[in-house]
Amino acid sequence: MEARTQNGVVLTLDHVTIKFGGLVAVNDFCLDIRKGELVGLIGPNGAGKTTVFNIVTGQYAPTSGRVLFEGQDITGWRPDLVAAAGIARTFQNVRLFTGLTVLDNVLVSQHLRLKSSFLSAAFRLPSYAKEDAEARARGMDLLQRVGLADLAREQAGSLPYGQQRRLEIARALATNPRLLLLDEPAAGMNPEETTQLMKFICRIRDEFGLTVFLIEHDMRLVMGICERIRVIDYGVSIAEGTPQEIQSDPGVIAAYLGEEED
Amino acid sequence: MKRRHLHLILTVALIGVLLLVLWWADRHLGEFPLRVARTGAIYVVAAVAYNLVNGITGQFSLGPNGFMALGGYTTALLILPLQQKQFVWFLEPQMWPFNSFSFPWYLFGLALLLAGVVGALGALVVGIPSFRLRGDYLAIATFGFGEIIFVLANNLIPLTNGPLGMKGIPEYASVFWCFGTAIVATLVVSNIANSSFGRAMKAVRDDEVAAEAMGVNVFRTKMLAFVTSGFFGGVAGGLLASLITTISPTLFTFAMTFNLLIIIVLGGLGSITGSVVTGLGFAIMSEVLRVVEAPIDLGPIHIPGVAGMRMVVFSVLLILLMIFYRRGLFGQFELSWDWVLSVLRATRGVRKWKQERKTESS
């Protein structure tokens, strides 16, 4: 354990398997992600990519295997505890709090750091008011950094799609994560928006000192920014390597395009 | 920061004006309008708390009648004079310790507080198992809870005097008690709704999975809303017992929850100020609509009086609202000082503009 942390491994998936009834959605999955890395997870539809994310963030408990975050065993933790430990995520289809303003969406993510008690909030004691004002200032600061400050008072549900995606990432950043999981961040974006997103992901990784693990179908994004790519199919890892290696891997080509029949 | 101070001053000023109006009303209005107003204030307490669960946290509870029953019985047991207690429990003796003491008038506040605590405990007991499950189990569990309280109230004769209930409860629930509690409940609930806890509640309402992934403890958040609502439900029940001066199990049947549901849906699920307006409005309309229950003579047509006709009118109103104005009168909108000030500024701007145009043309 010690050695792993020293090597700068942030996330370890150790022989993770999950079964839903008779279906083995993820089978014996192993992965180490080092600090500061930008790792991509790709595979055909239904390969089990999002299931891997759901296991890391605690939505599912694996049938067997362990999940280690910075050397700590977080297998089967509740999602809110995983978030508090320092892992944040976005969702494949945008899941904002549509009835809240842009700023409030970001502030929800700071709730887990709140020190004031429920009663001090109910009676709006000065100690609570001060903490709330600080959270607001931090929230506005974050929105400024991701370029959404002008929209702070808009309803999240009324933003255009690209901005909603951006807000979802901002909301994840507001939990103060060290590991960020992005589930198909470029889904539904046009090429120009995708280019912006690629720059955005690289920028926040450097600015916030993040490790990024992402799922994506858009090969331009995956090949453009990921340093290492893992490919899974039917819940099994079939390849890992740099973008160049993956592009020429016969197994990957077969999984995506089907095998040639002789 | 400056704006917050301004809002605080405006709120204090508004409460001051309200108290002055109440003081005037208490001296100059007749018994009947005051009674309607007090009932309205109690509806406000219960509805605002109920809205915290159904509107703000998005959990469909059907429980307020149960919490109000707990609070009502608690208060009645605490403040019923000893002599009256002996008179009421004439079939079976009342159980200890309630047969040995009675709160004097100056402890009415404490009695209400304890009513709230008992209501909150009830909410804790129902909430813990219900919120462990996802989905609409809360509606079933809370509905069942109300029925259980009804059955208990009917049968625990040494404690509740059964179907006969209690009468001669001192009428401590003055205009000031009712409206004072309504003001406190509204302020506390709106503080909660606008706090970090309130944002977490709204996040749970909008998307439970995302809220949890952002570090919100969903179970705890729901429990906080539910227990708070149980507390104020209990307080409202206590006030109601002291206002009506008699209670029996039938006072707290599901019809009570139904009334509150109408209030919060009419006012807008999630709008606290909406619940305040419709809570008072509901009490007034209930009296105004008594007309439809009286016999009506329209020349040759004679309509005999039908008891319960008011509920038909309310139901039709609710159906119409659901068809044409689904989000209620206020939706999720809140009357806030920001809004009032912006409206004032806008009207001032328009007036100024009109004046300028006048001077230009002349």
CA distance A56 to B317: 50
For residue B346, what are the domain limits? 338-362
CA distance B230 to B63: 9
B342 and B280 share one domain: no
B216 and B345 share one domain: no
CB A107 within 8 A of CB A175: no
Q: Is B171 a domain residue?
A: yes
pLDDT at A253: 84
Which position has the higher pLDDT, A58 or B314? A58
CA distance B48 to A80: 29
pLDDT at A261: 58
Give the mean model confidence (pLDDT) for residues B200-209.
95
Look at chain B and report how many structural domains it folds into: 2
- Residue of A98, A123, A171 lying closest to B214 (CB–CB): A171
Cα–Cα distances in angstroms (integers) from residue A1 to residues A37, A230, A247, in the given order: 19, 23, 34
Average pLDDT score over chain B: 89
B178 and B245 share one domain: yes
pLDDT at B354: 79
Determine, for residues A97 and B207 on separate chains, whether the beta-carbon distance falls below 8 Å: yes
Determine, for residues B202 and A104 on separate chains, whether the beta-carbon distance falls below 8 Å: yes
Q: Is B301 a domain residue?
A: no
Give the mean model confidence (pLDDT) for residues A52-76.
95
Q: Is B3 a domain residue?
A: no
Q: Is B267 a domain residue?
A: yes
Stretch among A95-104, B145-154, B342-351 having the lowest mean pLDDT: B342-351
pLDDT at A57: 95
β-sheet bridge partners, residue A64: A17
Determine, for residues A89 and B213 on separate chains, whether the beta-carbon distance falls below 8 Å: yes
Determine, for residues B199 and A135 on separate chains, whether the beta-carbon distance falls below 8 Å: no
Cβ-Cβ contacts under 8 Å between A and B: the total is 105
CA distance A234 to chain B (A): 25
CA distance A21 to B230: 40
Q: What pLDDT band is residue B8 in, cutting at 50, 70 and 90?
A: confident
Q: What pLDDT band is residue A262 in, cutting at 50, 70 and 90?
A: low
Give the mean model confidence (pLDDT) for residues A99-115.
94
CA distance A262 to chain B (A): 47
Place of tokens 């019809």: B255
- Residue of A97, A110, A112 lying closest to B206 (CB–CB): A97
Percent helix, strand and coil across chain A, each rounded to 5?
A: 45, 25, 30
B59 and B175 share one domain: yes
Determine, for residues A108 and B228 on separate chains, whether the beta-carbon distance falls below 8 Å: no
Q: Is B299 a domain residue?
A: no
Q: Is B196 a domain residue?
A: yes
Average pLDDT score over chain A: 91
Nearest to A85 by CA among A116, A54, A65, A112: A112
Determine, for residues A111 and B199 on separate chains, whether the beta-carbon distance falls below 8 Å: yes
Q: What pLDDT band is residue A162 in, cutting at 50, 70 and 90?
A: confident
CA distance B188 to chain A (A): 5
Stretch among A99-113, B29-43, B96-110, B335-349 having the lowest mean pLDDT: B335-349
Cα–Cα distances in angstroms (integers) from residue B123 to residues A237, B146, B232, in the given order: 49, 11, 11
- Residue of A78, A95, A132 lying closest to B210 (CB–CB): A95
CB A215 within 8 A of CB A183: yes
Indicate which of A109, A111, A176 best probes the interface with B, i.e. most B CBs within 10 Å of its own CB: A111
- What does the angle CA A225 – CA A198 – CA A6 come to, to the nearest 5 degrees? 50
Q: Compute φ and ψ for B302, nearest 5 degrees.
A: -120, 120
Q: Compute φ and ψ for B342, nearest 5 degrees.
A: -70, -35
CA distance A189 to B127: 42
Residue A140: CB atoms within 10 A of its CB come to 16
Residues in CB range of B346: below 8 A, 6 or more apart: none
CB B229 within 8 A of CB B222: no
Whether the predicted pLDDT of B359 surpasses 80: no
The H-or-E segment that residue B131 falls in is helix B108-132
**A-chain residue closest to B193, CA distance:** A122
Residues in CB range of B332: below 8 A, 6 or more apart: A99, B55, B268, B269, B270, B271
Q: Is B257 a domain residue?
A: yes
Which position has the higher pLDDT, A244 or B335? A244
**Architecture of the domain whose range is A2-100+161-257:** 3-Layer(aba) Sandwich (3.40)
Q: What pLDDT band is residue A2 in, cutting at 50, 70 and 90?
A: very low
Note every long-range contact of A1-9, with CB atoms under 8 Å and residues 24 or more positions apart, other chains counting: A1/A68, A1/A71, A2/A71, A4/A32, A4/A68, A4/A71, A5/A70, A5/A71, A7/A34, A8/A34, A8/A35, A8/A36, A9/A33, A9/A34, A9/A35, A9/A71
What ipTM, to 2 d.p.?
A: 0.91
Q: What pLDDT band is residue A1 in, cutting at 50, 70 and 90?
A: very low
- Residue of A100, A118, A172 lying closest to B199 (CB–CB): A100
Determine, for residues B206 and A109 on separate chains, whether the beta-carbon distance falls below 8 Å: no
Identify all chain B residues contacting A116, using CB atoms and an 8 Å cutoff.
196
The H-or-E segment that residue A240 falls in is strand A236-241
Identify all chain A residues contacting B210, using CB atoms and an 8 Å cutoff.
91, 95-97
Segment B243-267, tens digit of pLDDT: 999 999 999 999 899 899 989 988 8
Determine, for residues B202 and A99 on separate chains, whether the beta-carbon distance falls below 8 Å: yes
CA distance A166 to chain B (A): 15
Place of tokens 């608690």: B74
β-sheet bridge partners, residue A230: A41, A240
β-sheet bridge partners, residue A239: A231
A149, with CB counted inside 10 A (0-12, 13-18, 19+), is middle
Determine, for residues A111 and B205 on separate chains, whether the beta-carbon distance falls below 8 Å: no
Identify all chain B residues contacting A174, using CB atoms and an 8 Å cutoff.
214
The domain spans of chain A are 2-100+161-257
Q: What pLDDT band is residue A3 in, cutting at 50, 70 and 90?
A: very low
CB A159 within 8 A of CB A72: no
Q: Compute φ and ψ for A42, nearest 5 degrees.
A: -125, 170
Cα–Cα distances in angstroms (integers) from residue A13 to residues A32, A68, A69, A167, in the given order: 6, 6, 9, 28
The token pair that represents B8 in the structure block: 């605080």
Segment B98-121, tens digit of pLDDT: 778 888 889 999 999 999 999 999
Give the mean model confidence (pLDDT) for residues A126-153.
94
Single-letter amino acid, residue A216: E
Chain A residues bordering chain B (beta-carbon distance below 8 Å): 57, 59, 78-80, 83-84, 88-89, 91, 95-100, 104, 107-112, 114, 116, 118, 121-124, 128-129, 132-133, 135, 171-172, 174-175
Q: Considering Cα of B31, then B33, then B36, then B42, what sign does the dihedral take? A: negative
Q: What pLDDT band is residue A7 in, cutting at 50, 70 and 90?
A: low
Residue B223: CB atoms within 10 A of its CB come to 18
Nearest to B66 by CA among B110, B103, B120: B120
Stretch among A99-108, B77-86, B181-190, B300-309 having the lowest mean pLDDT: B300-309
